Every structure is written in structure tokens, then in C-alpha cells.
Chains A and B, each alone.
Chain A
């Protein structure tokens, strides 16, 4: 279930709403289970995006680079 307030939840979490909008969203959140649920889900997505690991590629890509950078630039 989404409503007009659901659309504002990302901006709410990113602190991009005006104080007035923010207050309206907060009032709505107190009354709307569905938006509270969405908010929590969005929070989790944001949290996981921030901690994605850095992985070294499984294949060594250097030989392919080295082959292309020999000789004058």
C-alpha cells in the first residue's frame, strides 16, 4: 500500500524536505502503518548500499591494460 506520502519518504530520510513538509510527513507517519513500514524498508536499503564491500576482480585485468599502454602515449 502506498499513498501520496510514500513518495516523500526518500526525501524525508535524505533530509531534503522543508521543515513544513517534514512536519507533515511526521504527522502522517504517526497515523500510517504502511508508510512506517516503507520507511523502515527504505532505511535498510540505504544502510546496505553504504556498506557494500569493495571486491578485487576475480580475474587479473592488468595484462590487458599493460598490452594497451605500451609504447608512446
Chain B
């Protein structure tokens, strides 16, 4: 029973089927991105239904690849919500607009290498994840991003982000140290597995797990406060 329920939850939750096996993306993001290697095939549950199975966008993609910016605008309009929501959670409201634009500009430049073996939405979403991670890289070291136990407890949270009306969960999220926030968003919101997160963030799976736990506990505390 629990297993079945779990599988159901995973399906509901996962709309990034097979994201790590998308080879064209490696080309898409070039040198600015971490080297992405397929790690393990995702569980089949992840490839299954989502409420928003994209309609066939191959025509728009082909037109955009041929230089039709209006076709690309249609793709943008269809996918900007998910991209922006992800980036707002990963990098914060202040930087989310610019990061979203960066992600779509990168997608435009790379769309010729997109082969359609995944949904366009999945592909552009992955680009957005890399934009989010790149925006942190260089600014701040992993040592600072991933606070150990003691530092985590002493971390003075940023002021909750009050720019949105939704002050609850997203505000709590914005108070987390960056590394913990990234892990929580990738795992609990986006449905990535620890092995994938470890690869993306250049940390161990164990660190990913412990950061996730701390992040959840901290959010719970903020929400209960």
C-alpha cells in the first residue's frame, strides 16, 4: 500500500522525465555548465504522466531552430511559468527575471542542437537549473554554501522574501542558506534524486541527504513560528 502510494506521489510530482540523459544540453550550455553525464536511468515512474504532457511542439521547435523568433516566442510563453517559478525558488525573486531571460537566450542559441528526444519543456527547464547553479558559482564557495550542523543552527536567515503575496512556503524557502535551498528545491519541488543533485552541485549524496533534512527541518520551524 505504501509503495503504491509512493509511486503515485512520484508520478504526480515528477515532470522531468529522464532529464539527465539529455545529451544535447551538454552542447547547449557549453563551458559554463557542469559536465553532465547520464547517471542512472530514472525510474520508469518519472517518465510517466504529468498533468502537462506537452502537445507536440516539434513544429515550433523546428521553426525556431530555423530562426523564427515568433515560434520561439510561442515556446517561451508556454514554458516561462515553470522556468521562472524554478528560478525564483533557486536564486530568489530579485534575480529571477534576469535568470529567466538568460535561460531562454541560451535555449535560443542552442535550439539547433535540441533533437527532440525529450520534451522542449524538460530541456529548457534543465537549462534553467544550470543557469541557477552558474549564478552561484564563483560568487561563493561550497564551503559557504553548505553549512555544517553548527553553522546551520547559527545561520541568520535572510529576511523572508516578501515580494509575493504568498508569504508562507516560498518565504520560508528564501530564508534558507543557498546550498540547502538548492537541494530542497531540486529534490522536493523538482523531483531530482540525491545522486543527480550530488552531481549537479558537486557534493556527495550524503551531503545532499543531510542538507535536505536540515532544510526541511528549518522550513518546518519557520512555518511553525
Contacts and interface: CB of A to CB of B under 8 A. Distances in A.
Partners in one complex: yes
Interface of A: 6-7, 9-11, 15-16, 38, 41-42, 44-46, 48-50, 52-57, 59, 61-62, 64-66, 68-70, 73
B189 A54 contact: no
26 contacts: A7-B210, A9-B213, A10-B216, A11-B209, A16-B209, A38-B220, A41-B224, A42-B216, A44-B223, A45-B219, A45-B220, A49-B189, A50-B188, A54-B82, A55-B88, A59-B97, A61-B101, A62-B73, A62-B76, A64-B101, A65-B101, A69-B69, A69-B72, A70-B69, A73-B109, A73-B112
Main secondary structure of the interface of A (DSSP, over half): helix
Contacts, number: 94
Interface string B59-81: 00000000101001100110011
Given A10-B209, A65-B101, A45 B85 contact: no
A62 B81 CA distance: 12
B184 interface: yes
A65 B104 contact: yes
Given A45-B219, A49-B188, A50-B188, A57 B80 contact: yes
Best-surrounded residue of A53, A64, A68, A69 (most CB of chain B within 10 A): A69
Interface of B: 6, 9, 12-13, 67, 69, 72-73, 76-77, 80-82, 84-85, 88-89, 96-97, 100-101, 104-105, 108-109, 112, 168-170, 184-185, 188-189, 194, 209-210, 212-213, 216-217, 219-220, 223-224
